[in-house]
Homo-oligomer: A and B are copies of this chain.
Amino acid sequence: MNQPLWFDEVYEDNSRLGLKVKRILFEGRSQFQQIDVLDTAAYGRVLAIDKIFMTSERDEHFYHEMIVHPALTTAENIKRVLVIGGGDGGTVREVLSYPDVEHVTMVEIDRKVVEISKQFLPSIGTAWDDPRLNIQFRDGIDYAKNPASPLFDVILLDGCDPVGPAKGLFSQAFYEGCARLLTKGGVFALQSESPFLMQHIFLEIQQTLSRIFTHALPYFGSVPIYNSGIWSWTYASQSTTPHEPDMDRVRLQEARCKYYNRDIHRAAFAMPNDLKKLLTG
């Protein structure tokens, strides 16, 4: 255990990203999945689920700022926010940085991921004690289709790849459930995989969301710990015109963010030429 070793995420048995591990801080199984927390020289502490890198101390801002701020700076209201998944706490931390947010419900299927993240990744989940946060340990798919679930101004889907318990998070029925839970002018945003290495999944998400929402626009960035160079999220709403960012909210984030600012927001929606031809003909 004290010997340095490589921990590799292997993608489709063809490519792998490996990190040299200084120390294994946790390894175990929850009811749902394998969880590992590694101390690495390249990325600091790293969370892996089912041997797939989820986030790290050093690069987590690339992911968490981009799943949150395009939606939170543009939604008509941001009083009530639903986060599905996001057990490491980075997404709710970014959401709760807006004083206008009054209530966040986080629906995470795996209590163990939250417990482990609280213990080993305290620099990522800095908002666990915020009184505006309500955590429910249950299946996000059930939550979205439950007629008793309340409405939200913004819904963020911070899920894994479509394997294991996260598979249903990529289905049309689930997205329809999310659309039903949105207030007027509301925004649904989600991570939507690599448009390069996982192009078939990326395109399927775009096609499915386009059937349900008036707008479904992918946006792009980099997540260094995800082996694929270019990463995508998708922004969806029922508005007939695209939302413009609220500049007060943008300035608030520019004062605290490591990655996000007004230029990055606009730039993220620029579509690589091949994807533009595939998606807009």
Contacts and interface: CB of A to CB of B under 8 A. Distances in A.
B273 A264 contact: yes
Interface residues of A, number: 48
A259 to B, nearest CB: 5
A246 interface: no
A197 B18 CA distance: 14
Nearest to A256: B273
Given A229-B62, A258-B274, A259-B274, A18 B12 contact: no
Contacts of A222: 196, 222, 229-230
A15 B271 CA distance: 29
A18 B13 contact: no
Interface string A50-63: 00000000010010
A267 interface: yes
A226 B227 contact: no
Q: How many copies does the complex hold?
A: 2
Contacts of A91: none
B273 A257 contact: yes
A120 interface: no
Contact of A42 (B12, B260, B261): B12
Contacts of A263: 269-271, 276
A20 interface: yes
Interface in A2-18: 6, 8, 11-18
A75 interface: no
Contacts of A226: 229
A139 B88 CA distance: 50
Contacts of A196: 59, 222, 224
Contacts of A260: 273
A16 B12 contact: no
A19 interface: yes
A74 interface: no
A223 interface: yes
Nearest to A254: B273
Contacts of A264: 270-273
Interface of A: 6, 8, 11-20, 40-43, 59, 62, 196-197, 222-231, 254, 257-261, 263-264, 266-274, 276
10 contacts: A14-B20, A15-B17, A15-B18, A16-B16, A42-B197, A229-B229, A260-B273, A264-B273, A266-B270, A267-B268
